[in-house]
Amino acid sequence: MHRIGLLLALLCSLVTGCSEQHPTHQGSYFPLTPDMQWTYRVTTEVAGRVETREFVTYNSEPETLKGLPHSVRITSEGTRYYLRNVDEGIYRNGKRTIVESEVRMDSDPHWVL
């Protein structure tokens, strides 16, 4: 019994230690911490033809837009989304595709979460 308690304590300390390396809002369903990455396998079927591909999105270092800090989320296709976390939620304020040289600001912030 003592051994199980010791193992449980060790496991909890490892999990807690890992969370300190990547601070984010506790319980966040949309973490914006730089260097976090998600990989998705996307399968589509059109006219009986099935295609599977990988889609990756990751958080880059924050950038300043119009004097305000924004989190930057980049897709494997090169699109950069500029996100702002405010009390009311997370909003996308702009994006830049690989063919654009500058950020295209949204006319109204686009609510994300």
Per-residue pLDDT tens listing for the chain (113 residues): 545 544 445 444 444 344 344 344 545 668 888 999 999 999 999 999 999 999 999 999 999 999 999 999 999 999 999 999 998 999 999 999 999 999 999 999 999 98
Q: Quote the pLDDT of residue 13.
A: 45
Q: CA angle at residue 58 from 13 to 86, to 5 degrees?
A: 80
- What number of CA atoms fall less than 13 Å from residue 58's CA on the CB side? 11
The predicted structure's pLDDT at residue 32: 87
| pLDDT at site 27 | 52
* Half-sphere exposure (Cβ direction) of 107: Cα atoms closer than 13 Å: 0
pLDDT of residue 113: 87
Helical (H) or strand (E) element with 8: helix 2-21
pTM of the prediction? 0.70
Residue whose structure tokens are 């304590």: 9
Q: 48: exposed, middle or buried (C-beta count within 10 Å: 0-12, 13-18, 19+)?
A: exposed
Domain boundaries, the chain: 28-111
